[in-house]
Amino acid sequence: MNVSVITKSNVKSEALDILAKELPAIISGLLEVPGGYMALLKPEQVSLEFSQASVRDVGPDIRIEILASSNEPRLSSKHALAREILEKVVSSFSKFAEEYSVDIRLYFMEIGAAEHSVG
């Protein structure tokens, strides 16, 4: 699970610390669904990448892009999941909710996986 957090320069590091702490649990809690191996999701499996937006970016203060594997329970409710993630993110740093705009993009895709173990 890959999550990119793109922020404008006006976003305080305290807000980013809260996101770094809370976001993996929020995403894993909402995106884990009953099913096989690809449906399981623990907070430590959520990879966060923070970057700063260009000064020319006219978008929201905080943009969160989530890349997740597709499976039927997730696909059927993708808009509801994105809305739930947004609500939990905003409530997790409620003191900054009036200060920053937040956008959530949830992308589902087919993921191929392979593993090699030295034995």
**pLDDT surpasses 90 at 17:** yes
**pLDDT surpasses 80 at 107:** yes
Whole-number pLDDT of residue 60: 92
Q: Is 67 within a domain?
A: yes
Whole-number pLDDT of residue 7: 95
Q: Is 117 within a domain?
A: no
CATH of the domain at 66: 3.30.429.10
Q: Is 96 within a domain?
A: yes
Please report how the helices 13-31 and 78-92 are oriented relative to each other, as an axis angle in degrees rounded to 10: 140
This prediction's pTM:
0.81
Number of domains in the chain: 1
Please give the residue range of the domain that contains residue 41.
Answer: 2-109
58/96 Cα distance (integer angstroms): 19
**pLDDT surpasses 80 at 45:** yes
26/92 Cα distance (integer angstroms): 9
